[in-house]
Structure 1
Amino acid sequence: MTRAGALLLLCTALLFIGGGKCDDICPALRDTVDLFISGSHEAYIEQVEKYNQNSDVLETADTLKSCVDEKLTPQDKQDALSALNKIYSSSLC
């Protein structure tokens, strides 16, 4: 996995720190993370816009999604989704 892929996984894992069960995570957050990793650029930005119209947030989301799309290979994206699925299904989550 590339450094970008490892960073993506680290940032995603940080979303889950703070206790609680993964079942408690808002489905919209899970959908947004999935779109961030493997969805189209447009679908991800539309999802972010549903919850935040701040131009700085949208610009940052656009930049981050572009980075993910340019830097991560399809295998990196699949690895990230697999790791997330393990996190979601973990008894420790």
Structure 2
Amino acid sequence: MLGVFQGVSPYLSVSECDDICPALRDTVDLFISGSHEAYIEQVEKYNQNPNVLETADTLKNCVDEKLTAEDKQNALSALNKIYSSSLC
């Protein structure tokens, strides 16, 4: 996920946001419930910096070790409410 944010301007137009949102959503979904390998591959698409990849690896390990299946489902449900908002 970190790789997706690096270099993204806070002043994106609506059309630029539409292009970024699917990738960001995919990355967040993989971070929460995807396989470790799939998440790291997704981050690598956007950033090959070894420090970013190491941090992504550490964070994904933490999520996988600490969050229960119910925790992950609750997080995805909350995100789906955000994604379906007219403000998103």
Report if TM-score (shorter chain) is over 0.5. Answer: yes
**Runs of 4+ residues deviating >4 angstroms:** none
* TM norm structure 2: 0.76
Q: Does 1:28 align with 2:23?
A: yes
Q: Counterparts of 1:1-93 in structure 2 under 5 Å? A: 24=18, 25-93=20-88
Q: Which runs of 5+ in 2 are unaligned?
A: 1-10
Mapped to 1, the partners of 2:33 and 2:78 lie a distance apart of 13
Mapped to 2, the partners of 1:90 and 1:51 lie a distance apart of 26
Mapped to 1, the partners of 2:61 and 2:47 lie a distance apart of 19
Note the aligned Cα RMSD (angstroms): 2.1
* TM norm structure 1: 0.72
Percentage of identical aligned residues: 86
Higher relative contact order (CA 8 A, sep 6+): 1
- How far does the alpha carbon of each residue in 1:18-72 deviate from its partner, in whole angstroms, 9 at most, with x for none? 9x87x73421111000000000000000000111000000000000000000000
